[in-house]
């Protein structure tokens, strides 16, 4: 079925995990562009502050305190959107948390809790969204990870949950397309992003965890999410680094295994000891309201690869123009030579 997604300024967006990192940046950008928002998270104080901020700037927003691992909480999010705005046009499943530690060290309780948020939160949100969108039309945007394509050690539980999100999202997309439902289903695949992700993660390591480079700012991810709200896209990678990891992992899996065994254990561990009373967000909300996580290394503020993937026609035109300009610069000068009749003829000197 052919259908058009609405312009962002005409939309109502539901965003889960809206009080930090990618979700917070996305909510603020969507509000500035005129979208009406239903924001959800577990931290009521941070939600209230976000909604007050949006309203003070002239926007419209409401919040719902919800744990996405609880289906009834997610249904309350949908009900709030219907009550305040008559429904929604885009639903963004963004809430997530991680665990740093070897799989055999992580308790079964923590394994299950992470899946409640990362996987079941997406299932609950997607089902609530599709029930309305298959009749109204709109976009479902699930925030996965490049680690749904290629697992890494020390975050095995997180990787497993994102593999599950990818499988669920891909299957749901096909089922909706087959029935002709007017629902665009997009999977966002961020690389490492400088958000409070590390601070919110449960840590089994003796030191504070660290993001492996390259690390990107949350803004490119937010831009991709909002692009998916207006344009039908299957998936979007955030950062060329993640796209390369996915491709190399698929093409040379054993080589990638060995390379990761040599590098990613160290790259995910800092020199700072982990405090015994360290707070995290696995089982309950912790500190929220921050977009960045304070990554100490270089943070790429944008991704040329992601920008090009969002606007392939423009990117292609730029590449063609650049190619013509380079060809013009490399073209050798025209020279005059005498022919066999002592007349001057014009020719171009070829390049080896």
Considering Cα of 275, then 280, then 284, then 288, what sign does the dihedral take?
A: positive
120-136 vs 156-179: helix axis angle to the nearest 10?
20
- pLDDT tens-digit series, residues 209-263: 999 999 999 999 999 999 999 999 999 999 999 999 999 999 999 999 999 999 9
- pLDDT tens-digit series, residues 307-335: 899 987 655 554 455 445 445 544 555 54
**DSSP reduced 3-state for 330:** helix
- pLDDT tens-digit series, residues 121-138: 999 999 999 999 999 999
Helix (H) or strand (E) holding 186: strand 183-190
Average pLDDT, the chain: 90
Q: Which domains does the chain have, with CATH numbers?
A: 8-309 (3.40.50.720), 311-352 (no CATH)
CA dihedral angle for residue 115, residue 117, residue 122, residue 127, rounded to 10 degrees: 100
Q: Which of 100, 119, 158, 197 is catalytic?
A: 158
- C-alpha to C-alpha distance for 190 and 234, rounded to whole angstroms: 14
**Residue 341, pLDDT above cutoff 80:** no
Known catalytic residue: 197? no
**Residue 164, pLDDT above cutoff 60:** yes
Question: Residue holding tokens 């994102």?
Answer: 162
- pLDDT tens-digit series, residues 173-191: 999 999 999 999 999 999 9
Percent of the chain at pLDDT > 90 equals: 85
In 3D space, the residue among 240, 242, 211, 221 whose CA is nearest the CA of residue 146 turns out to be 242
- C-alpha to C-alpha distance for 87 and 72, rounded to whole angstroms: 17
HSE of 141, CA atoms in CB hemisphere, 13 A: 35
Neighbours of 82 (CB within 10 A): 13
């Amino acid at each position: 079925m052919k259908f058009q997604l609405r312009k962002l300024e005409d939309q109502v967006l539901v965003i889960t995990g809206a009080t930090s990192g990618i979700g917070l940046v996305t909510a603020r950008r969507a509000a500035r562009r005129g979208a009406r928002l239903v924001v959800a998270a577990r931290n009521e104080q941070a939600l209230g502050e976000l909604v007050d901020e949006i309203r003070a700037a002239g926007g419209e927003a409401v919040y719902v305190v919800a744990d996405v691992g609880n289906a009834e909480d997610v249904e309350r999010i949908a009900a709030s959107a219907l009550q305040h705005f008559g429904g929604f046009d885009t639903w963004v499943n963004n809430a997530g948390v991680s665990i740093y530690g070897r799989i055999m060290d992580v308790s079964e309780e923590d394994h299950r809790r992470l899946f409640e948020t990362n996987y079941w939160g997406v299932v609950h949100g997607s089902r609530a969204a599709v029930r309305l969108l298959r009749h109204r039309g709109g976009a479902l945007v699930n925030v996965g990870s490049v680690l749904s394509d290629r697992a890494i050690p020390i975050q095995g539980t997180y990787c497993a949950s994102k593999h599950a999100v990818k499988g669920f999202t891909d299957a749901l997309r096909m089922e909706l397309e087959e029935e002709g439902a007017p629902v665009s289903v997009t999977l966002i695949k961020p690389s490492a992003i400088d958000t409070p992700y590390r601070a919110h993660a449960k840590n089994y390591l003796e030191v504070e965890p660290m993001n492996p480079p390259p690390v990107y700012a949350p803004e490119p991810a937010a831009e991709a999410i909002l692009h998916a709200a207006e344009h039908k896209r299957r998936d979007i990678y955030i950062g060329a680094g993640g796209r390369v990891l996915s491709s190399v992992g698929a093409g040379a899996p054993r080589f990638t295994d060995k390379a990761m065994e040599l590098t990613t254990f160290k790259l995910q561990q800092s020199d700072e000891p982990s405090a015994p009373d360290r707070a995290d967000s696995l089982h309950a909300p912790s500190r929220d309201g921050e977009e960045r996580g304070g990554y100490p290394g270089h943070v790429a503020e944008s991704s040329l690869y992601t920008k090009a993937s969002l606007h392939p026609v423009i990117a292609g035109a730029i590449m063609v123009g650049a190619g013509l300009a380079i060809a013009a610069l490399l073209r050798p000068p025209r020279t005059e030579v005498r022919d066999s009749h002592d007349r001057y003829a014009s020719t171009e000197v070829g390049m080896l």
